[in-house]
Amino acid sequence: MTFTDDTVRDLLISVGLDRESAGEAWERSFEELGLDSLARVEIATRIQDRFGVDVEADLTAEATPATLKKLVAERLNGSAAR
């Protein structure tokens, strides 16, 4: 299962970011996007449920959607190598 740009965008939209902002959000922090700790926990929970990857501790206010995508991809690749 792959974690794509579309997956990240859909996650951002699912926690309340509008489509236009979600498309331009890659290098903006979750704080800059107005996504609070509850939104970040919701994103982490959805990733855990769908991909089996735990990223909750890494989703800080300073993290960006780009770093989220990289983190999940690395963990998915790491788990596939085991």
pTM of this structure:
0.89
Task: Describe the crossing of helices 37-51 and 65-81 by its angle, rounded to 10 degrees.
Answer: 30
Average pLDDT of the segment spanning 56-68? 96
CATH architecture assignment, domain 5-75: Orthogonal Bundle (1.10)
pLDDT digits (tens, 9 = 90+) for 13-51: 999 999 888 888 899 999 999 999 999 999 999 999 999
pLDDT band at 80; cut points 50, 70, 90: low
User: What residue spans define the domains of the chain?
Assistant: 5-75
Tens-place pLDDT, residues 1-12: 789 999 999 999
